[in-house]
Amino acid sequence: MDEAVLRSRTPEVLGVLVHRGADFAAAEDAVQEALVEALRVWPSAPPRDPKAWLVTVAWRKFLDATRADAARRRREELVDEEPAPGPAAVVDDSLQLYFLCAHPSLTPSSAVALTLRAVGGLTTRQIAEAYLVPEATMAQRISRAKRTVSGVRFEQPGDVATVLRVLYLVFNEGYSGDVDLAAEAIRLTWQLAAVSDHPEVAGLLALMLVHHARRAARTAADGSLVPLAEQDRSRWDTALIAEGVEILQAALARDRLGEFQAQAAIAALHADAPTAGETDWVQIVEWYDELVALTDSPVVRLNRAVAVGEADGPRAGLAALAEVDASLPRHTAVSAYLHERDGEVVVAARLYAEAARKAPNLPERDHLLRQAARLNHAVD
Amino acid sequence: MAKYLLLKHYRGAPASVNPEPMDQWTPEEISAHVQYMNDLAARLEKTGEFVDSQALAPEGTFVRYDGAGRPPVTDGPFAETKDVIAGWMVIDVDSYERALAVAGELSAAPGAGGKPIHEWLELRPFLGDHSATAE
């Protein structure tokens, strides 16, 4: 019994229960119990219709829990009066579940935890391990999130942008523990793409696939960072890149551009170059211009300055950088890189060392420190 | 078994024997240094003595309660002169002597010229249910 396959049923089953009138928190508990039961029973007695089996068992668990609660007798009677309809409109229910778990009333960390639990079907322990926090801490965060959305009406249409942001957060967490969050984010985005018809969902999926395809080449054996230009391109997963590009092209053809499609286009242009030197920087700058128009984000402007530096030379890059807020993380690192390309090695070395002190994580700090060291020794 | 915290200091500790700042090392020397620490952590994991290891950003902020209904007061980050913790390793070992040995090994990580940096580490026993010092 593949646990991942089983987990992929979670949103449909949970959606059916909530659609039938179960409150979210109770339904979620019932579905988790049904999944555990399935793991126990299915290896020796596989069901003919797994979804129907899960719905039946989860619904029974929900009713048991509801009956056990004397204070909820009135709702129990209501439930008994109206026999449950079959699992219809499953597609819509799954989609609603994504919106609910990414509800704007939740903090990003709560939305991520709830999505992994309710849509992804991960156990609290798995999520806690992935985020390196105690299980009790994660359990609190999840139950608080459930309480926050318990009053939210299921029919309310959500904002797909919020859902996509949450999925992208999950993707960028990488992995630790026994759950690979990047792979999990891709699985959930595939699922979302199957039940929604939005070019940005396809855009995010394409972006994740193309990034993921470079994963093996992105870190060296000792865990250190390998920059894009130095990556061994033979280690990129070309099938995954092709899949991402195909999804992206279909999305772009619909002519409803959004930030994830633009980001995916940039990632695809990088992935498309046989060598770093053959990267189509001119087209990448054009996509960054689109992105700036769509988001006006300082981080995008910072990345754009790097692309301008490649397309039009380091002086042009530095001019573009001068218009970006200097307090941004990585601003110093970009400045160091452009100064080095402009031949100002001493300035670049000083900036690399400064950037290392501001680095947000260890692989990045060590990488920047090596850059500073390399230049300091080139000068000696 | 007793837990010990091995504290690395950016500043504030006595100067090490081989104190050249890391950005003046060669890239190979940095790699060797990182490799040494990873290898040590891996070895301690094998012996079941490793608990945790984390690096900290060099700059933090001091925060203080400023009375009901008022936002906390913050101060810093402070430049240069103050003591700054760079990171830590937590080990769970049988004896104080073993803790000293591990700290000595960590302090011997190679630096400029491939020579040990002889960094001063602070070794602090955790307070627990039973004595955390030598038996």
Q: Is the pLDDT of residue A9 over 60?
A: yes
Highest mean pLDDT of the ranges A43-57, A210-224, A284-298 = A284-298
The residue written with tokens 């240094």 in the block is: B33
Q: What is the pLDDT of residue B134?
A: 42
For chain B, the average pLDDT equals 86
Query: Cα A47 from chain centroid?
Result: 32
pTM of the predicted model as reported, rounded to 2 decimal places: 0.82
Q: Is the pLDDT of residue A89 over 70?
A: no
Highest mean pLDDT of the ranges A27-36, A280-289, A325-334, B50-59 = A280-289
Query: Choosing among B23, B52, B89, which should be mutated to test the A contact, i.e. which has the most A CBs within 10 A?
Result: B23
The residue written with tokens 């001068």 in the block is: A322
CB contact under 8 A, B30 and A357: no
Query: Is there a domain that residue B134 lies in?
Result: no
Residues of A with Cβ-Cβ distance to B35 under 8 angstroms: 222
Question: For residue B77, is the peptide bond before it cis, meaning its omega torsion is within 30 degrees of 0?
Answer: yes
Averaged pLDDT for residues A184-202: 93
Residues of B with Cβ-Cβ distance to A222 under 8 angstroms: 31, 34-35, 38
Smallest CA-to-CA distance from A207 within A270, A288, A290, A281 is with: A270
Asked if B58 has any chain A CB less than 8 Å from its own CB, the reply is yes
Residues of B with Cβ-Cβ distance to A370 under 8 angstroms: 27, 30-31
Q: How many CA atoms lie within 13 A of B106 on its CB side?
A: 27
Q: Is the pLDDT of residue B131 over 50?
A: no
Q: What is the pLDDT of residue A174?
A: 67
Q: What is the pLDDT of residue A262?
A: 98
CB contact under 8 A, A223 and B22: no
| Cβ count near A313 (within 10 Å) | 14
Smallest CA-to-CA distance from B6 within B93, B83, B67 is with: B93
Residues of B with Cβ-Cβ distance to A352 under 8 angstroms: 23
Asked if B56 has any chain A CB less than 8 Å from its own CB, the reply is no
For chain A, the average pLDDT equals 89
Which among B22, B25, B38 has CB closest to A222? B38
Task: Say which residues have a Cβ less than 8 Å from residue A218's Cβ, sequence separation at least 6.
Answer: A225, A226, A231
Q: What is the pLDDT of residue A297?
A: 92
Q: What is the pLDDT of residue B65?
A: 86
Which among A224, A353, A373 has CB closest to B26? A373
Asked if A223 has any chain B CB less than 8 Å from its own CB, the reply is yes
Q: How many CA atoms lie within 13 A of A119 on its CB side?
A: 30
More confident residue, A248 or A96: A248
Averaged pLDDT for residues A33-42: 90
Tell me, letter by letter, the H, E, C secondary structure of A241-292.
HHHHHHHHHHHHCCCCCCHHHHHHHHHHHHHHCCCHHHCCHHHHHHHHHHHH
Rounded to two decimals, the ipTM of the complex is 0.78
Query: Is there a domain that residue B25 lies in?
Result: yes
Among chain B residues, the shortest Cα distance to A357 is held by B58
Q: How many residues does chain A have?
A: 380
Buried b vs exposed e over A60-81: b needs ≥16 C-beta within 10 Å?
ebbbebbeeeeebeeeeeebee
Sign, CA dihedral A104-A108-A114-A115, equals: positive
Q: What values do phi and psi take at A336, rounded to 5?
A: -60, -45
Q: Is the pLDDT of residue A223 over 70?
A: yes
Percent of chain A clearing pLDDT 70 (strictly above): 91
How many beta-carbon contacts under 8 Å exist across A and B? 42
Asked if A374 has any chain B CB less than 8 Å from its own CB, the reply is yes
Task: Say which residues have a Cβ less than 8 Å from residue A80's Cβ, sequence separation at least 6.
Answer: none
Q: Is the pLDDT of residue A325 over 50?
A: yes
Asked if A366 has any chain B CB less than 8 Å from its own CB, the reply is yes
Task: Report the distance separating Cα B126 and Cα B7, nearest Å.
Answer: 12
Query: Is there a domain that residue B66 lies in?
Result: no
Query: Residue B77 corresponds to which tokens in the numbers above?
Result: 């980050």
Q: Is the pLDDT of residue B56 over 70?
A: yes
When pLDDT is cut at 50, 70 and 90, the band that residue A186 belongs to is very high
Domain residue spans of chain A: 3-76, 91-196, 197-279, 329-379
Residues of B with Cβ-Cβ distance to A362 under 8 angstroms: 55
More confident residue, A92 or B43: B43
Strand B73-75 relative to strand B62-64, pairing: antiparallel
Q: Is the pLDDT of residue A202 over 80?
A: yes
Query: Is there a domain that residue B20 lies in?
Result: yes
Tell me, letter by letter, the H, E, C secondary structure of B33-66.
HHHHHHHHHHHHHHCCCEEEEEECCCCCCEEECC
Asked if B34 has any chain A CB less than 8 Å from its own CB, the reply is yes
Which among B21, B24, B35 has CB closest to A222? B35
Among chain B residues, the shortest Cα distance to A349 is held by B23
Q: Is the pLDDT of residue A129 over 70?
A: yes
Alpha-carbon gap: A336 to the closest alpha carbon of chain B (Å)? 14
- What's the CATH number where B103 sits? 3.30.70.1060
Query: Is there a domain that residue B42 lies in?
Result: yes
Tell me, letter by letter, the H, E, C secondary structure of A291-343.
HHHHHCCHHHHHHHHHHHHHHHCHHHHHHHHHCCCCCCCCHHHHHHHHHHHCC
Q: Is the pLDDT of residue A219 over 90?
A: no
Radius of gyration of chain A (CA): 24
Which structural domain range is residue B22 located in?
A: 2-59+72-125
Alpha helix locations (H) across B72-123?
Answer: 96-107
Least confident of A28-42, A238-252, A338-352: A28-42
Q: What is the pLDDT of residue B79?
A: 60
Asked if A251 has any chain B CB less than 8 Å from its own CB, the reply is no
Query: Residue A350 corresponds to which tokens in the numbers above?
Result: 């000083």
Q: Is the pLDDT of residue A86 over 60?
A: no
| Cβ count near A267 (within 10 Å) | 24
Q: What is the pLDDT of residue A82?
A: 52
Q: Is the pLDDT of residue A220 over 90?
A: no
